Chain A
Amino acid sequence: MTDKEKNDINLLQTGYRFTPSNVGLEAGEVATYLAAVGSDKRLYRDDNVIPPLAVVARALKALFDEIDLPAGTLHIGQGVTSAGVIQSGDQLTSRAQVKRRQQRGKLDMLTISFEIMNQRQDTVMTGETSLILPGAEAAE
């Protein structure tokens, strides 16, 4: 999705469904992720297990590619629940929707829930991302 196609975040209301996204990682990307984190766990190195938060990061990237986040947006909270081990080569799809949108003074709080499924349609992860957005008045 290009910048021109991004959705105005002020139009995203409770129940809005994001476009499902492929969030699988290539082996090289996993290696780069582990180098960034400084992790040398055998599970990841030898057993072809994918770090769950690497997948979450990719899912968040897909969300943020779809919406035009105003300057000053803060990622304030994150929840993640693992429901299964993710293996190298799994084909992963993230589905997300706006769970809640609340106004607090000039700030908007947006909670987005997501579910990540593998190629067998098993849910391997769920989660929630909380953002604070400058209100429409502040963003202008």
Chain B
Amino acid sequence: MLELAELREGMELPELEKKVTQENINRYAAASRDFNPIHLDPEFARQAGLGGTIAHGMLILAYLADMLTAAFGQSWLSDGRLSVRFRTPARPGDTIRVSGKIHRVEKDEGKTVIICEILCANQADEAVITGDARLEVSDT
């Protein structure tokens, strides 16, 4: 986990790399109860014009949340904010690089506000998710 005192603008968050598999998409479907066949049935997804199954966008977003939890711990869970756009689908076999950079660090009445740019990109460097994250950490 990162220490508050060491946070600087421009600093990169520790990256994660995640492999998207159909097995994990199936698990995510079970956990979220989202059994839309575009995620689970290759033939259905092909007929829908998707060229095969695609991962739930929220699964890929969960990778981002995992990176932020690793970087900021409970502060992220209790006082974090995410705002993202889903840019392109992730597919089984994709490798997703999850990254972030601190854009701003602001002091505000006994707390530090941290604003990060965040990104999930696939192995072709296409953006899968872009957005920003904001969290507040008490200085005490």
Which residues does A use to contact B, with CB under 8 Å? 25, 29-30, 32-33, 35-39, 41, 43, 49, 51-54, 56-58, 60-61, 64, 71, 74-86
Identify whether the interface residues of B are mostly helix, strand, loop, or mixed. helix
Partner of A71, one of B48, B66, B70, B86: B48
Please list the residues of chain B having a beta carbon within 8 angstroms of any beta carbon in chain A. Answer: 18, 24-25, 27-28, 30-34, 48, 56-59, 61-63, 65-66, 69-70, 73-74, 76-86
Asked if A51 contacts B65 (CB within 8 A), the reply is yes
Residues of A within 8 A of B24 (CB): 35-38
Q: Within the complex, what minimum Cβ distance (angstroms) separates A60 from chain B?
A: 7
Which of B59, B63, B77 touches A49 (beta carbons < 8 Å)? B77
Pick from A58, A77, A84: contact of B78, CB below 8 A: A84
Closest to B67 in A: A39
A36-B59 CB under 8 A given contacts A77-B84, A78-B84: yes
CA distance A109 to B24 in the complex (A): 30
Give Cα A53–Cα B32 distance, bound, in whole angstroms: 10
How far is it, in angstroms, between the C-alpha of A32 and the C-alpha of B48 when the chains are bound? Answer: 28
Q: How far is the CA of A79 from the CA of B64 in the complex (A)?
A: 13
Report how far A39 CA is from B25 CA in the complex, Å.
14
Residues in chain A near residue B58, CB distance under 8 A: 53, 56-57, 60, 75, 78
Q: Is A53 a contact of B62 with CB atoms below 8 Å?
A: yes
* Best-buried of A29, A38, A79, A86 by chain B (most CB within 10 Å): A38
Q: List 17 A-B contacts (CB under 8 A).
A: A32-B27, A32-B30, A32-B31, A36-B31, A37-B24, A41-B66, A41-B70, A43-B69, A53-B65, A57-B34, A60-B34, A71-B48, A76-B86, A77-B83, A77-B84, A77-B86, A82-B76
Max count, chain B CB within 10 A of own CB: residue among A30, A36, A49, A53:
A36
Once A53-B61, A82-B78 are accepted as A-B contacts, the answer to whether A35 and B84 lie under 8 Å apart by CB is no
Q: Please give me the residue from chain B that is nearest to A47 by CB atom.
A: B74
A69 to chain B: closest residue by CB:
B36
CB of A124 to closest CB in B, whole Å: 9
Find A38's partner among B18, B30, B34, B86 (CB 8 Å cutoff).
B18
Q: Tell me whether A35 and B80 are in contact (CB under 8 A).
A: no
Q: How distant is B72 from chain A, measured CB to nearest CB, in Å?
A: 11
Since A30-B31, A36-B59, A82-B76 are in contact, a sample of 6 more A-B pairs with Cβ atoms closer than 8 Å, ordered by chain A residue number, is: A37-B28, A38-B18, A51-B69, A57-B32, A64-B34, A78-B57
Chain B residues with Cβ under 8 A from A75's Cβ? Answer: 57-58, 86
